[in-house]
């Protein structure tokens, strides 16, 4: 708890998300994507969250709540890594509403994802961030993330959830 001008401010509470939280997670993800002018089909996002939350080996999601309202989320996905000789995790989605930024929600969500990764035996965590996104780089840096000296390259084998072509792909 911090005090500023005599006002008590508690950081938002974080908790693991469940399948019952899928509509809330989708709404947060849609808001996040809208900030970058990406439309996000709700059904596709809901299917992706449902698949993730149905199998904890794949990862998990956490919500930050303030006064009973969801103000942010983070998604951890997990896979095997030869480099680390075990599991590695990716912060696959991370969003805090503008009204809740600067109050510890982001740090709390990243800490929750880190704890969830450790509980799953994950040996390294990764995050993808644009080279010009100084704000995100500072947030991740404060949480201990740093440049690895490697570039993250991608070869899409299916359309991303935010792509209209995703609906035609039924890979779950």
pLDDT, tens digit, 9 for 90 and up, residues 144-170: 999 888 888 888 888 888 775 555 444
Residue 9 pLDDT > 70, yes or no?
A: no
Structural domains of the chain, with CATH: 17-146 (3.40.630.30)
Residue closest to 140 by CA, chosen among 101, 110, 172: 110
Return the structure tokens found at 170.
């039924």
Q: Tell me how crowded residue 126 is: count the other CB atoms within 10 A of its CB.
A: 15
Looking only at the bridges linking them, the beta strands covering 59-66 and 13-16 are: antiparallel
In sequence order, the 6+-apart residues with CB closer than 8 A to the CB of 44 are 161, 162, 166, 167
- Per-residue pLDDT, 150: 84
- Per-residue pLDDT, 171: 52
Is the model more confident about 157 or about 98?
98
pLDDT digits (tens, 9 = 90+) for 32-79: 999 988 888 999 999 999 999 999 999 999 999 999 999 999 999 999
Alpha carbon distance 130, 126 (integer Å)? 13
């Amino acid at each position: 708890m911090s005090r500023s001008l005599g006002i008590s401010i508690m950081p938002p509470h974080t908790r693991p998300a469940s399948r019952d939280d899928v509509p809330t997670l989708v709404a947060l993800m849609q808001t996040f994507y809208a900030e970058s002018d990406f439309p996000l089909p709700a059904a596709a996002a809901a299917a992706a969250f449902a698949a993730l939350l149905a199998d904890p080996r794949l990862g998990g999601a956490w919500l930050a709540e303030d006064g009973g309202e969801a103000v942010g989320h983070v998604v951890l996905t997990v896979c095997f890594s030869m480099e680390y000789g075990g599991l590695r995790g990716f912060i696959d989605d991370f969003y805090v509403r503008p009204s809740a930024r600067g109050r510890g929600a982001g740090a709390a969500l990243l800490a929750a994802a880190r704890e969830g990764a450790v509980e799953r035996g994950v040996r390294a965590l990764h995050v993808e961030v644009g080279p010009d996104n100084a704000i995100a780089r500072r947030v991740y840096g404060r949480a201990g993330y740093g440049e690895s000296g490697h570039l993250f390259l991608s070869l899409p084998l299916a359309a991303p959830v935010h792509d209209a072509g995703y609906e035609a792909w039924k890979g779950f």
